[in-house]
Amino acid sequence: MKSDSDHTETERNPSGSTSKVGRGNAGNATKLALGRGLDVGTANLVSGAQDVDGNVLIKIQRNAFIDIERDDYTRNMLTRLNVQYVVIENRMVVVGDPAFELANIFNRETRRPMKDGFISPKEADAMPIEKLLLENLLGAPTQENEVCYFSVPAEPIDAERNVVYHQGVFAGLLKKLGYNPKPLVEGHAVVFAELAEDDFTGIGISCGGGMFNICVSYKSIPALTFSTSRAGDWIDRNVANVLGIKASRATAIKEKGVDIRKPRNREEEAVEIYYRNLISYTLENIKTRFESAEGMPQFPEPISIVFSGGTSLVGGFIDVCKDEFENIKFPIPVKEIRLADDPLYSVAKGCLVAALSEA
Ligand SMILES: Nc1ncnc2c1ncn2[C@@H]1O[C@H](COP(=O)(O)OP(=O)(O)OP(=O)(O)O)[C@@H](O)[C@H]1O
Ligand SMILES: [Mg+2]
């Protein structure tokens, strides 16, 4: 299994459109190798494909939408702003990144089809919209029934959820688009994307919006996988609570250049405190689970721990991971703690690696 990520091209907002599927979508512009990857995330949906020259093509869209009353004023405004929309049940629906921009203009929140890593119970009827987003990102398969690996969360250790329904719904959407859907546990995808040089042995961690997903892998076989429901959104909710601000404001503070080694004010201090807590919670859980699980492989060589996902993008993240690592007695010898090359795209790349090796 080999990932060719020498050359990665990325595109956000490929067509910005639900009605122009085909323009700028992965299926039509370039000749592609068979096999696709899809990262199904609470915050972002990311697709991965590889062209025949071995370049990896990544597309990313916010997993969000907004619906607006259908009237002439709004229609004219959307046309003027060059924002594509579809009409569903007499409402104008804008999906993906443009929905985010519109939410700011209208001073509203976007609607989110997923919460804490799973389909949101509040937005279960948003699945036709999710299908539009997937259509924009993936386009049609090059060949009917082309393999598409998609990420699913591992079973959470701190929430009463299971992945059966969530996985079934996304498999169904991908089938409708003409793909042969195959689930891949999110942490395992990080191992495929980031640990090729270590013979796929080590720990892959995806630090997302809704969850952290962890996979301890030995020669590409997962020895331990689990997820926790504390992640980026958890930081935002808590920071918002203690500061008495809106969660969206907390997100903005967190994403706009905080360095958690050097907080400059009370707000950034709150971000730092929750980040440290989250990182030590994650490492402690790996330790406890590893020690209590049966049949764990022996790791003869020290391993690498690789962090990926949007939540790992904050300034100083890896240094704080190293600090917190020093505070616990970890059960496996570790040679390196590092950040993925492209933290936001790791999971999609790992799904792509799995798909290419099978196709
Ligand atoms: N520069 C940044 N600094 C800190 N956090 C960031 C930054 N950019 C994005 N994030 C956070 O990353 C999170 C989204 O990450 P990601 O796209 O990996 O999640 P996801 O895969 O959609 O979610 P999940 O895997 O939990 O379902 C959000 O909480 C967002 O606030
Ligand atoms: Mg994710």
Residue 20 lies in a domain: yes
Distance between Cα 301 and ligand 2 center (Å): 28
Could you tell me the end-to-end alpha-carbon distance of the chain, in angstroms, rounded to an integer?
12
Residue of the nearest CA to atom 8 in ligand 1?
310
Q: How far apart are the C-alpha atoms of 351 and 175, rounded to whole Å?
A: 17
The residue type found at 54 is G
Query: For residue 136, what are the CA distances in angstroms to 11, 130, 150?
Result: 12, 10, 16
One domain, residues 330 and 352: no
Q: Is residue 3 part of a domain?
A: no
The answer to whether residue 1 sits within a structural domain is: no
Q: Does residue 124 share a domain with residue 94?
A: no
pLDDT for the residue 25: 43
Q: What is the pLDDT of residue 293?
A: 86
Range of the domain at 91: 66-98
Residue 270 lies in a domain: yes
State the pairing for strand pair 91-95/118-119: unpaired
Rounded CA separation 219/331 (Å):
18
Instruction: Kindly give the confidence (pLDDT) of every residue in the chain, 359 residues in length, as a single tens digit, with 9 standing for 90 and above.
Output: 444 444 566 666 443 322 222 223 444 567 999 999 999 999 999 999 999 999 999 999 999 999 988 999 888 988 998 888 888 888 899 999 999 888 878 778 889 999 999 999 898 778 889 999 999 999 999 999 999 999 999 999 988 888 999 999 999 999 999 999 999 999 999 999 999 999 999 999 999 999 999 999 999 999 999 999 999 999 999 999 999 998 888 999 999 999 999 999 999 999 999 999 999 999 999 999 999 988 888 899 999 999 999 999 999 999 999 999 999 999 999 999 999 999 999 999 999 999 999 97
37 and 169 co-located in one domain: yes
Whether 246 is in a domain gets the answer yes
Residue 103 lies in a domain: no
Q: Does 2 reside within a domain?
A: no
**DSSP at 28:** T
The atom of ligand 1 lying closest to the CA of 44 is: 22
Residue 119 and residue 88 share a domain: no
> What is the CATH number for 276?
3.30.420.40
CB of 251 sitting under 6 A from ligand 1: yes
Beta strands in the chain (DSSP E): 8-12, 36-40, 44-50, 56-62, 65-69, 86-88, 91-95, 114-115, 118-119, 146-152, 179-185, 202-207, 212-218, 221-228, 303-308, 334-339
Q: Are residues 72 and 220 in the same domain?
A: no
CB 223 within 8 A of CB 341: no
Domain match, 250 and 220 both: yes
Same domain for 277 and 203, yes or no, is yes
- The answer on 267 and 217 residing in a single domain is yes
Same-domain pairing of 74 and 132? no
Ligand lying nearest the CA atom of residue 235: 1
Centroid of ligand 1 to alpha carbon of 116 (angstroms): 12
For residue 42, the ligand 1 atom closest to its alpha carbon is 27
Residue 26's pLDDT is what? 44
340 CB near ligand 1 (under 6 Å) = no
| Structural domain count, the chain | 3
Say what the pLDDT of residue 6 is.
Answer: 45
Residue 36 C-alpha from the chain's centroid: 16
Claim to verify: residue 320 and residue 219 sit in the same structural domain: yes
| 121 and 235 part of one domain | no
Is residue 135 located within the same domain as residue 262?
Answer: no
**Ligand 1 centroid distance, CA of 174 (Å):** 23
117 CA from centroid of ligand 2 (Å): 8
Helix then strand then coil, % of the chain, to nearest 5: 40, 25, 35
The strand order across the sheet containing 65-69 reads: 65-69, 91-95, 86-88
Residue 75: what are its φ and ψ, rounded to 5°?
A: -60, -45
Structural domain includes residue 285: yes
What size, in residues, is the chain? 359
